[in-house]
Amino acid sequence: MMTDRAAPLIATVILSWQRPDLLRQTIDSYTAWTTVAHRVLLVDNGSDPATRDVIAAARDRGAIDRVVWLADNCGGESLNLLLDDSSAPFLHFSENDLEYRRGWDLDLLSKFDAFPDLGQLSVFSAEPESAAGEIGPRHDAMPMERDGRRVWRAAHNVGTSSVVRREVADVGVRWHNLEAQGLRWPDDGRFSTDVKAAGYLVAWNDRHVVTNWGHNVAEWSRRIGYYLADFGSKPWVGLEGLERMLRAQGYALDRTPAGAIRGIRPAEP
């Protein structure tokens, strides 16, 4: 952590719910590759004991500065509980299924230096890393370059995992939820819309600075039941949307003769 006692430049808020192995990887990779002065905060949305054990161990070894334990899954609104914990000039929101890469922090912060009107910057590029197994759409965006730095201006919104200027929170932008079938997720669309309404640019980075394991075909195959339930509970995606994303990148759901889904396979030519 901040052994030099420098004031934090980034306050990172990790949103945790289940999947302890991915959460451990998120925390460990963040610790390994974050080089600027930082403060790490985590809010847990009522996870199982295995996940809570990962969080407690990370806190005990100094990888997390503060934990907020919630009894239930309160969705993305949980992120608001920690916005005022630090006066760091940049707030970084992280989901629990990422693997941070060397230089991620310096790369993103350099974009904020180059673009004074940049309010929210994704940790992802506008295009999925298909060659590495990431499944997802290509997002509508327009390239912008200044001082040798490039970002892609988002036509719509970026995802939860992103860095924002402190001023975004200071003008009142907060997280809200999308809810369906008793589950809650961060309303990424509303958050980015509110950032734009406050007069700031919302953008994708020009490259991924993390591995997006939560949208990787290897992870989906390994934990197929979890992701079928997740996509099935989202009426704006559904299983049909999951199948469309898989087909677009050469995969299909593997079904038994009786029609039960048992995994993911390469699509037939």
Distance separating alpha carbons of residues 29 and 34, to the nearest angstrom? 8
Four-point Cα dihedral 35, 191, 58, 24, nearest 10 = -90
Distances (CA, A) of 172 to 12, 80, 169, 193: 18, 11, 5, 13
Domains and CATH numbers, the chain: 10-125+140-215 (3.90.550.10), 217-266 (no CATH)
Residues 6+ apart with CB under 8 A from 61: none
> 238-248 vs 224-232: helix axis angle to the nearest 10?
120
Chain segment 217-248, per-residue pLDDT in tens: 999 999 998 888 888 888 888 888 888 889 98
pLDDT at position 5 = 57
Length of the chain (residues): 269
CA-based torsion, 181, 183, 187, 188: positive or negative? negative
pLDDT at position 183 = 79
Reported confidence tier of residue 3, pLDDT bands at 50, 70, 90: very low
Burial 188-215 (b: 16+ CB within 10 A, else e): bebbbebbbebebbbbbbbebbbbbbbb
Total-model pTM: 0.94
User: Average pLDDT of the chain?
Assistant: 94
pLDDT at position 9 = 97
| Residue 2 pLDDT exceeds 80 | no
